[in-house]
Structure 1
Amino acid sequence: MMSQSLSRDTAARTLQYAAGPVLLVAAWWVAYATGAVNSDLLPSPFLTIADTVKNIQSGRLGVDFGATLMRVGYSILIAVAAGVPAGIALGANASVYRSVEFLIDFFRSTPATALFPLFLLLFGLGDPAKIAVAAFAAWLVLVFNVAYGVLNARQTRILAARSMGASSLRVFRDVTFFETLPQTFVGLRTAVSIALVVIIVAEMFIGASDGLGHRIIDAQISYNLTDMYGSIVATGVMGYGLNLLLLLVEKSVIHWSGR
């Protein structure tokens, strides 16, 4: 009985996870089959899937996928290394944070793509410019979220630790840091999404020879629509996969959140 219940639960969970992709393919097929979208602009989903599988097997799509993932990874590592300490330092002092809040919000509200010319002047063509502009955009999001988390750490736990004689360093290490983690992960997931968007756009327009962004724009120029749509789907898979990975890490690291 127990095994049957577990198998039913597994089957139900599998159906729930499969519903989204099935609905996407079904809506795509209906739009293609009914002519709601010009078939010259929207290929069959099944032809697209077949072409994508072929590109995966040949290794060509994997090379571009890996190039984009590498650039996103480097930009996030830089953003985390620079953003988390800066956010902690700003959040630990409300007056300091208020004095630079305008600058953070100003640049956070400025589209990262508008900064491409500046980063091209600073870093030139090539990967450094792409990674730098994505890292900068992700850094701003992380700084804001980490600082917000530090500023809004629950005071009851901090006061309880201080009442027991804990030093400021001990309070930060054992209380404030852990109180900040949920907001930090929110910022990290947002930063990864922004970094991916910036990298894809940079690969399209800043002299890239590989990457999913380059592949999408190259397929559009050559009118290879199945490759174009397949590459777009691949970027969605990457973004979804990275977000899911961070959610899994978050659940394992801060399983105590909300208690």
Structure 2
Amino acid sequence: MKSSEELMSKLQPVLGLFLLVVFWELAFEMRLVDPVLLPSPAQSFQAFWHGLEEGSLWADLRRTVARTGISFAIALVIAVPLGILLGSSDKVYRALEFPIDFFRSTPASAMFPLFLILFGSGESTKIAVAAFGAALAILFATAYGVMNARKQRQLAARVMGASRLQVLSDVTIWESLPQTFVGMRSGVSLALVIVIVAEMFIGSTDGLGQRILKSQMVFDMPDMYASIFAAGALGYLFNLLFIVAERRFVHWGGK
């Protein structure tokens, strides 16, 4: 009984994928959508495998991963220190509250024209706009994590003679790490989304976004769905990596 429950628990993550494929196959067989626009799962998987075998999908996948990784790294280096500064000082937060809320409410895709003016239509624009979107997510999560750090531990550190800087570095920052990791997970997902959109519309010749757009333009629907699947699988993998890292490095969160 226990072994069957463990087996079911392990199979649960793939249940959603199985149901999606079943629904997709039924929609194809029942012709709910024109087969030209919605190929079968088998055709799409064949296109996915062919793209991997002949190398073009791997090349586009690597370019998207590289752009996302660089964007996320830039966002992380900028946003975490700023988030700690904002969260640890009410005066600084209040002084910057309007521009912070303004940019938080502005979709990153709406900033494409501004970044095109500033950086041109090259590689730097895609990375900069993705870093901008990811940095906002990380910044707010870090700031809120610092602001919501448990006061009892901070007070205990002060009673034991710790300076303000020591309380910040030895207590507050560690207390904020679980929330910071949440922001990092959101940030890397957002960076991936923006990179793919930027690859579609900002002068790209490679990347998953450009591959999806090219496939759609020539009505190569199996390859389009294969590329969409690759993008979704990449996002899922990023999210999974951060969940594992979070459990490894902040396993004490909430305790």
Query: 2:197 is matched with which residue?
Result: 201
Matched, 1:125 2:121: yes
1:18 is the counterpart of 2:4 = no
Offset, 1:169: 2.0
Residue 92 of structure 2 corresponds to 96
Mapped partners of 2:48, 2:97: distance in 1: 45
Give me the whole-angstrom Cα distance separating, in 2, the residues matched to 1:53 and 1:13: 29
- Aligned partner letter, 2:156: A
Separation in 2, partners of 1:148, 1:257: 15
Percent of counterpart pairs with the same letter?
Answer: 51
Query: Which ranges in structure 1 are unaligned for 5 or more consecutive residues?
Result: none
Q: Which among 32, 38, 42 is matched to residue 34 of structure 2? A: 38
Alignment partner, residue 211 of structure 1: 207
* Segment drifting more, 29-38 vs 243-252: 29-38
CA distance in 1 between counterparts of 2:49 and 2:201 reads 26
Match of 2:166 in 1: 170
1:58 and 2:54 equivalent? yes
> How far does residue 17 in structure 1 lie from its aligned partner after superposition?
2.4
- Select the residue among 179, 186, 192 that pairs with 1:190: 186
Matches within 5 A, 1:213-232: 213-232=209-228
Alpha-carbon distance in structure 1 between the residues aligned to 2:82 and 2:10? 42
Distance 1:91 1:15 in 2: 41
For the residues of structure 1 that align with 2:204 and 2:41, how far apart are their CA atoms? Answer: 28
SS at match of 1:125: coil
Query: How far apart are 1:237 and its partner, in Å?
Result: 0.3
Aligned length: 255
Can you list the C-alpha shifts for 1:80-123, whole angstroms capped at 9, x where unaligned? Answer: 00000011111110121022112111111111111111111111
For 2:253 and 2:148, locate their aligned partners in 1 and report how far apart those are by CA, in whole Å. 14
> 1:134 pairs with 125, 130, 136, which one?
130
1:71 to 67, 73, 80: 67
Partner of residue 244, structure 1:
240
- Could you list the runs of 5+ residues in structure 2 that have no partner in the other structure? none
**Structure 1 counterpart SS, 2:254:** coil
User: What is the alpha-carbon root mean square deviation over aligned residues?
Assistant: 1.4
Q: TM (normalized to structure 2)?
A: 0.96
Which amino acid letter does the alignment assign opposite residue 219 of structure 2?
Y
How far apart, CA to CA, are the structure 2 residues paired with 1:216 and 1:10?
Answer: 38
